[in-house]
Amino acid sequence: MNWMRWVAMTGLWAVLIGSGGAMADSPASFLETFNAEARSAGEGPGNPARGQEFFNKTHGNEWKCAACHGAVPTGKGEHAVTHKVIEPMAPAFNPQRFTDAAKVEKWFRRNCKDVLARECTAREKADVLAWLISLK
Ligand code: HEC
The C-alpha angle 18, 56, 39, rounded to 5 degrees, equals 50
Residue 53 contacts residue 64 (beta carbons within 8 Å): no
pLDDT at 11: 60
Residue whose CA is closest, atom 20 of ligand 1? 107
Ligand 1 nearest atom to the CA of residue 94, by list position = 27
Q: How long is the chain?
A: 136
The pLDDT score that the predictor gives to residue 44 is 81
Residue list, ligand 1 pocket, CB within 6 Å: 63, 65, 67-69, 79-80, 86-87, 97-98, 103-104, 107-108, 111-112, 114-115, 128
Handedness of CA 18, 14, 85, 32 (dihedral sign): positive
pLDDT tens for each residue of the chain, 136 residues long: 565 666 566 665 555 545 444 457 999 999 999 999 999 999 989 999 999 999 999 999 999 999 999 999 999 999 999 999 999 999 999 999 999 999 999 999 999 999 999 999 999 999 999 999 999 9
Per-residue model confidence (pLDDT) at position 13 = 57
Q: How far is the CA of 87 from the centre of ligand 1 (A)?
A: 10
**Does residue 65 contact residue 54 with C-beta atoms inside 8 Å?**
yes
